[in-house]
Amino acid sequence: MASSAPELLLISLPQLAAGAAQTLAISALGIVFATLGGVLYGVLAAVGNRLLNLLLQVYLELFRAIPVLVWLYLVFFGLPIFFSISIPSFWCAVLVLGLWGASEVGEVVRGALQSLPRGQREAGLSIGLASWQLYGYVLLPQALKRMTPPTINIYTRIIKTSSLAVLIGVVEVIKAGQQIIERTYESVLIYGALFLFFFFVCYPLSAASRALERRWAHA
Amino acid sequence: MTFDTAFMLSTLPAFFQAVGVTLQVGLIAIATSLLVAVINATILVFRTPYLWRLVKGYVELARNTPLLIQLFFIYFALPTLGVKVSGFAAAIITMTFMGGAYLTEVLRAGVEAVPRAQLESGRSIGLSEGQLLRHVILPQAGILSLPALFANFIFLLKETTVVSAVAVPEILYTTKNYIALYYKTYEMLAVLTLLCVLLFLPLSLLLRYVERRLQHGQFGS
């Protein structure tokens, strides 16, 4: 056992850092996929095709009704059995976080697009914009202010939820912490450090989301 | 691929119990979280000196850290400090810690959403602070925060799956247990998915309905 708490923390730092890098990688990839998927979802939902809306609705409800942890197990155990595809647990976590995040971001994007005045769409169409131009140049830029604060909040939820990856065997920051605890029995110190790690990643994002929401409240 | 339906049926009593545990953990956590939230929101709304800052700090800490870490801290780290808790107790304590913070924010936002003119007109007709709270603020704040409260209740109920990590025998733990014991992976995953859909989908749809109804109610106010 290490002689003192600071000393212990110092020597376990590289291992924790490697775990933290994995956690941040899962979160970052999840956030990228959630954002791309979410914008796609939002635009498709705003187009207003009946069949498309039904499909998106089913997708959304499945991700709302089934908890993320259950999705992790479904993908982790289910993909090999049902589709004979075996993907590493790291990518299982990225896939689930991305798909779940896309449904959440998608609803935000859809809501922001629908809150824009009708005249914007009509004016765009009347000057002959193609629909990708209409969304790319007129609608999405205006919706950006409404969707950014709630989307940042979803990012913090993705980061927090990435912690569940440890339960399907990803060696991320919690697993790294547990390995150090097995060696040193310093569970209070390590779990305390993990707690602060997530707090210092998520708190700035939540604070930014709140500040932006206040600043843009009248936009 | 064939489904062993006989096996699935034989696990039904166990899953019936597991649903009971899920509901038990979820409902107790919702009740205790609500209690914590009402106390905290009152402190925030009245800006009780010192306590107010403490509550703010607690809300930020609990909202910006994962439930799993909070759970592991209570279940694995506290015993080394001499505080031993069962998995079930750890689950309730952690979910109350997190849920209390979320619900505090919901209630505070509800009170703040009541238009200032309501307060001022209440004062101008001579209502006392207590009357103002009871007859003007709380009824309106209650309605305003209802959809968000309900959404958070569902969220807490779904989060009970996380406490499977400390061996609380709820639906996910039971599923994992059967998979480990009998290797009936796809049967058990099917049962788990079905249970989630049966338990949470109606609640989620009901929430959407309530949200729409209350949005209409707000028009013109």
Q: Can you read off the two tokens belonging to residue B94?
A: 């952690």
DSSP 8-state secondary structure symbol assigned to residue A95 = H
> B73 and A191: CB-CB below 8 Å?
yes
**What pLDDT is stored for residue A165 in this prediction?**
96
HSE of B42 in the Cβ direction (CA atoms, 13 Å)?
8
Interval A15-31 mean pLDDT: 96
The CA-based dihedral angle spanning residues B98, B103, B104, B109, taken in that order and rounded to the nearest 10 degrees: 140
CA–CA distance, B197 with B4 (Å, rounded to integer): 21
The CATH number of residue B48's host domain is 1.10.3720.10
Residue B141 burial (CB < 10 Å; 0-12/13-18/19+)? buried
pLDDT digits (tens, 9 = 90+) for A187-217: 999 999 999 999 999 999 999 999 998 888 7
Interval A11-32 mean pLDDT: 95
Q: Across chain A, what does the average pLDDT equal?
A: 91
Query: B162 to chain A: which residues are within 8 Å by CB?
Result: 67, 69, 164
Query: A164 to chain B: which residues are within 8 Å by CB?
Result: 66, 68, 162
For residue B161, the distance in angstroms to the closest alpha carbon of chain A comes to: 7
**What pLDDT is stored for residue B221 in this prediction?**
39
DSSP 8-state secondary structure symbol assigned to residue A115 = T
Helices (H), chain A: 5-47, 50-65, 68-83, 89-114, 118-126, 131-133, 140-161, 173-184, 187-215
Chain B contact for A137, CB < 8 A? no
Interval A132-161 mean pLDDT: 93
Q: Are A119 and A127 in contact (CB under 8 A)?
A: no
Give the residue with greater pLDDT, A82 vs A100. A100
Cα distance between the two ends of chain A:
57
3-class SS of residue A25: helix
DSSP 8-state secondary structure symbol assigned to residue A112 = H
**What pLDDT is stored for residue B158 in this prediction?**
95
Range of the domain at B19: 5-218
pLDDT digits (tens, 9 = 90+) for A86-99: 889 999 999 999 99
CA–CA distance, A97 with A21 (Å, rounded to integer): 17
**What pLDDT is stored for residue B217 in this prediction?**
55
Cα-to-chain-centroid distance, residue B49: 28
Minimum Cα–Cα distance from A204: chain B residue? B64
> A192 and B161: CB-CB below 8 Å?
no
Name the band, by pLDDT with cuts 50, 70 and 90, for residue A219.
Answer: low
> A167 and B165: CB-CB below 8 Å?
yes
**What pLDDT is stored for residue B87 in this prediction?**
95
Range of the domain at A194: 5-215
Domain count across chain A: 1
Q: Which among B67, B78, B196 has CB closest to A70?
A: B196
**What pLDDT is stored for residue A86 in this prediction?**
84
Q: Which long-range contacts (CB under 8 A, 24 or more apart) does B42-51 make?
A: B44/B104, B44/B108, B45/B108, B45/B111
CA–CA distance, A14 with B141 (Å, rounded to integer): 49
Q: Which among B63, B172, B176 has CB closest to A206?
A: B63
pLDDT digits (tens, 9 = 90+) for A28-54: 999 999 999 999 999 999 887 899 999
Chain B contact for A191, CB < 8 A? yes
CA–CA distance, A157 with A152 (Å, rounded to integer): 9
Residue B122: how many other CB atoms lie within 10 Å: 18
Chain A contact for B56, CB < 8 A? no
Chain B contact for A156, CB < 8 A? yes
CB pairs under 8 A between A and B: 105
> A199 and B64: CB-CB below 8 Å?
yes
**Predicted TM-score of the model (pTM):** 0.91
The CATH number of residue A194's host domain is 1.10.3720.10
Q: What is the pLDDT along chain B (221 residues), one digit of tens a residue?
A: 678 888 988 999 999 999 999 999 999 999 999 999 999 998 998 888 899 999 999 999 999 999 999 999 999 999 999 999 999 999 999 999 999 999 999 999 999 888 888 888 998 999 988 888 889 888 888 888 888 999 999 999 999 999 999 999 999 999 999 999 998 888 999 999 999 999 999 998 998 888 888 765 554 43
Query: B60 to chain A: which residues are within 8 Å by CB?
Result: 203, 206
Minimum Cα–Cα distance from A161: chain B residue? B66
Domain count across chain B: 1
- The DSSP annotation for chain B comes to ----HHHHHHTHHHHHHHHHHHHHHHHHHHHHHHHHHHHHHHHHHHT-TTHHHHHHHHHHHHHTS-HHHHHHIIIIIGGGGT----HHHHHHHHHHHHHHHHHHHHHHHHHHHS-HHHHHHHHHTT--HHHIIIIIIHHHHHHHHHHHHHHHHHHHHHHGGGGGGGT--SHHHHHHHHHHHH--HHHHHHHHHHHHHHHHHHHHHHHHHHHHHHHHHHTT-
CA–CA distance, A139 with A124 (Å, rounded to integer): 9
